[in-house]
Amino acid sequence: MPKSILPREGLTLEALFAPIRQILLQPLLTGSLLLVRYQYLDYIQRWVSPKAFNNFRSTKALTALSVLFSIGLLRKINNALSRLVLNNFTHDDTWDWSKEVVVVTGGSGGIGALMVQMFADKNITVIALDITPPRKPFSCNLFITAPKVHFYKLDITSTTSIQDVASLIRKSHGDPTVLINNAGIGTSKTIFDETETEIRRTFDVNTISHFLLVKEFVPEMVRENHGHIVTVASMASFLVHAGNVDYTCTKASALAFHEGLGQELKGRYGAGRVRTSIVHPTWIRTPLIERLTSKPEFKDFVLEPETVAEAVVEQVLSGYGGQLILPARLGLMSGVRGFPSWLQESMRNGVNQVLKT
């Protein structure tokens, strides 16, 4: 079946403006038109109508091309600088996906299971870690003689269990080279309504487990100066909803964890080729938020889980670290802490009742 030209979510702003990014903000195109405008007007005049020629050589056309070229060039430079700085200006790393081992926590369901399947479909050895078995068996490529996808039952809040399972993984598959900290939980309860056990469980799964898993799997990546750690955070890293405070705290800490891990890898261990990525999706269409999305008054944008899973897999396969904000239009919200206080509080007020039952 041919792939749709539109994303799964339909005609989004990102899809609507894609032609602008891909064509009008392509400096190679606008730069070429500017070159033609300055150097080859006589040649162009032979091939186009007088009206088209006059429009092309007009001051308005020149201004528009110059603005588009400048924006496109700055955008390219900005993206290149981000990639260079986030990856410590290192390019001399090779990823042999026939030998890499990918570990995904929360890999039995939801986005985690989708990522596991996507890696397996690309003949990459992938290991799903979860406290419950997969809801349905992962499929394997018919041309693979040995299965590439494996499941290990694991409570990621238990240090002992992590050490035991990690030992089995290393013995059977070798040292993991990609760790995706995807597992996460939430209660959608207010601070007063939530029990201490629920609060501690949320922090154990969403925050403490990141430390435990990194301590177990990443030292070998450091020794080899090769690897990738992906932290699945949320747009909640930047904006809190009433009734979701504990979850938001863990996602804010996930961002700090990601940033601090990157600093320690390059600043304390000299492992500049160990990549780090963080993902900030907005609402995702999963059973966890079904009660929200079924409300007529719920108007927020909702991502399909496949969209998020694909973005993470593509980031890993690129061989580079980075920050993904999904959808991209919400990138401005990442700077909310620098907004004027009245604007910050207005934004929080605007989502105050979203999770109210």
Active site amino acids:
247, 251
Q: State phi, psi for 7 to the nearest 5 degrees.
A: -65, 170
HSE-up (13 A, CA, CB side) for residue 170:
12
Tokens for 29, please give them: 């195109």
Tokens for 320, please give them: 């580079």
Name the H helices within the chain.
Answer: 13-19, 27-39, 41-45, 50-57, 59-86, 110-121, 159-173, 196-203, 209-224, 245-267, 290-293, 305-318, 341-350
| Nearest Cα to Cα of residue 303 among 2, 7, 6, 104 | 7
132: buried, middle or exposed (CB in 10 Å: 19+, 13-18, 0-12)?
A: exposed
- Which SS3 state, helix, strand or coil, does residue 103 take? strand
Alpha-carbon span 20 to 31, nearest angstrom: 15
| Nearest Cα to Cα of residue 229 among 210, 248, 212 | 210
> Tokens 């986005």 sit at which residue?
111
Residue 12 region, left (φ>0) first, then alpha (ψ -120 to 50), else beta? beta
- Which SS3 state, helix, strand or coil, does residue 324 take? strand
Tokens for 145, please give them: 């003689």
